[in-house]
Amino acid sequence: MSAGRHRSDEGPKVIKLKIMIDKNRNRVIFAESDHEFIDALFSFLTLPLGTVLRLLEKDMVQLGSISRVYASVYSLEPRFLRTSYCKSMLIMPRNASEVQCEKLKLNVDYSENAGKLFVCNSYSPRCKNIFSISQNTQCFRCNRLTQFDRKINEKEEKRSCRGESVVEVFLKGGAASFMITDDLQVMPASTARLTSLFGKLGVSDKSEIEAKTVEVGTDEVLQLLKFSLLSKTALTNMVLNSQGSWLKDISKYEDNQTAKLDKKTMSQNTNSMSLKLIVSKSKKKVLYAEAGVKLVDFLFSFLVFPLGAVVKHLGGNSRLGCIDNLYKGAVELSSENYIKSEECKNMLLSPKLFPHSGFDSHILEVEEEYPKYRYDDSGCIELARNTNKSEGSSIVNEEEASDLAINILDPKSPTGETIKGEGYLKGPATFMIMDNLLVTPFSPTAIITQLNQMKVSTSDVEERTVTVGKDEALNLLKASLISKTVLNDVFNIREPYPKVMLKV
């Protein structure tokens, strides 16, 4: 296997994996590795969905209907966005754990802006502590653009293992050996687990087993990310290039795994939204929906959700390939023995949004990360994690006179507020949402064209208004990942609507 892509100033990096293969069935039984490969695997949970789709774009991967959401943002005219950076925030979202992920031996999400904040070129002391997460944001004090970058540094923790210096990211850098099954279950290696796995897979004849060592670089990890989302045999697909079984998994994945409307009592949430469904009476089918800025902001926000947050919100049942297994593995590894700290474990199991990526009225109330920064006169920014948000700004040691509180500009705000608030879109506006979540600005001409293509007459069309509470929001999130017919899956009109939802 190749070494994969890497930074231009570094040589190729690889991790060696010991692989056990079932020769008769042409499949990987398990892989054995140390903490470095597990760190790379677990980093998948920190990746925002928009980043995942961007990384897999060259392979033409279509992930449920969320790929259509991504395409909708990509094609959206700037006039519908609050600022020009809103589009970049959604299609190239930053990872709240990017500073940690930069230390990975194999990091698939390397970006020039990762781990940086930006400052204006004003020499005024009033602007010294005003930073932005993006270039060319207007400083609200001097009105100049934030064009100069400052690197965020985290104190690098190294431990000695077998006489070598080891960089720790999420796991402790000890001598522990791990087993990774074909469907990405991660577990500490032991005889009991090995015996159990062989029994479960029906492997009894040791002559059927072949051991080999493979070198994995960033290209292979990127392929593994793809297969972890689309297949139940991710290691086999990566190591043995088993394209046939991968295609079979995708077909099953698209046809059978659909989300249904939750029949529980509708959630009472002050952030609930309304959605107009345009329905064919004869076909008993949702043709498309009409929505305002609030609901479209909600759909677009899926792109900034880290994978781990998606799995958490869906109760460990995203049904995305092997991702649920990967999440479960992180749950079961103790911070006492294997994961570096409870803080690192929370980065994987409850990853937060990058600062200012969310908005106040979000119905799922996804948390943003509010790290503490220490900034000194030498231009260095030092990061220390903190779970207590303080309106976008904080310091590490307020007693130290050399440290300055840092204010982070909200790139979604045209006026440069430093407190998170509104979403990405500028209203008022009406949008058309197709069954596969393709979003376009509302146009009467486009509606007529769409109805003609569907062979539906205007006399066969009726409008139904439904309320989207928290249950429906979660179903929309889940269906967006695994279905091509989201509106019909979540708002299945073949079954009677609860009275609270139906307003014809």
pLDDT in tens, the chain (504 residues): 543 444 444 557 899 999 999 988 889 999 999 999 999 999 999 999 999 999 998 877 889 999 999 999 999 999 999 988 899 999 999 999 998 999 999 999 877 777 788 888 766 777 777 888 888 777 777 878 888 888 777 655 555 444 455 788 999 987 689 999 999 999 999 889 988 988 888 887 777 889 999 999 999 999 999 999 999 999 999 998 755 444 444 444 343 444 443 334 334 446 789 999 999 999 889 999 999 999 999 999 999 999 999 999 999 999 999 999 999 999 999 888 899 999 999 999 999 999 888 887 788 878 888 766 656 555 566 665 543 443 444 333 333 434 456 778 888 888 766 555 688 999 899 999 999 999 999 999 989 998 999 898 989 999 999 999 999 999 999 999 999 999 999 987 544 433 333 332
User: Does residue 284 share a domain with residue 223?
Assistant: no
What's the rounded Cα separation, in Å, for the pair 336 and 452?
A: 62
In a domain, 351, yes or no: yes
Q: Where are the beta strands (DSSP E) in 320-447?
A: 372-375, 381-384, 393-394, 406-409, 431-434, 439-441
Q: 390 lies in a domain?
A: no
Domain end, chosen from 409, 442, 469, is at: 409
Do 249 and 353 lie in one domain? The reply is yes
Q: Is 415 helix (H, G, I), strand (E, B) or coil?
A: coil
Q: Is residue 3 included in any domain, yes or no?
A: no
Q: How far apart are the first and last CA of the chain?
A: 59
Domain shared by 284 and 184, yes or no: no
Residue 1 in any domain: the answer is no
Of 409, 442, 464, which closes a domain? 409
Do 85 and 42 lie in one domain? The reply is: yes
Q: Based on the fold, state whether residues 485 and 336 are members of the same structural domain.
A: no
How far, in Å, are 133, 153, 315 from residue 120 at the CA level?
12, 20, 43
Whether residue 344 is found in the same domain as residue 462: no
Q: 172 with 278, same domain? A: no
Beta-sheet pairing, 178-181 with 27-33:
antiparallel
| 146-153 and 381-384 strand pairing | parallel
Q: How far apart are CA 13 and CA 493, in angstroms?
A: 53
Residues 376 and 443 in one domain: no
Task: Say how far apart CA 345 and CA 45 lie, in whole Å.
Answer: 11
Last residue within a domain, chosen from 356, 374, 409: 409
Q: Is residue 317 in some structural domain?
A: yes
- Distance CA(482)–CA(480), nearest Å, equals 6
Number of domains comprising the chain: 2
Contacts of 234 (CB under 8 A, 6+ apart): 182, 183, 184, 224, 227, 228, 321, 322
Angle (CA) 342 348 351, round 5°? 100
Please tell me whether residues 341 and 450 are part of one structural domain: no
Alpha carbon separation from 107 to 40, 55, 74, 99 (Å, rounded): 7, 12, 25, 11
* Buried/exposed 474-490: b ≥16 CB within 10 Å, e otherwise: bbbbbbbbbbbbbbbbb
- Whether residue 414 is contained in a domain is answered as no
Residue 503 in tokens: 């307003």
Q: Are residues 284 and 335 in the same domain?
A: no
Q: Does residue 393 lie in a domain region?
A: no
Instruction: For residue 283, give its domain range.
Output: 273-298+426-491
Q: In what order do the strands lie in the sheet with 209-216?
A: 186-188, 178-181, 27-33, 15-22, 209-216
Residues 279 and 329 in one domain: no
Do residues 177 and 57 both lie within one domain? yes
In a domain, 396, yes or no: no
Rounded Cα gap, residues 308 and 135, in angstroms:
28
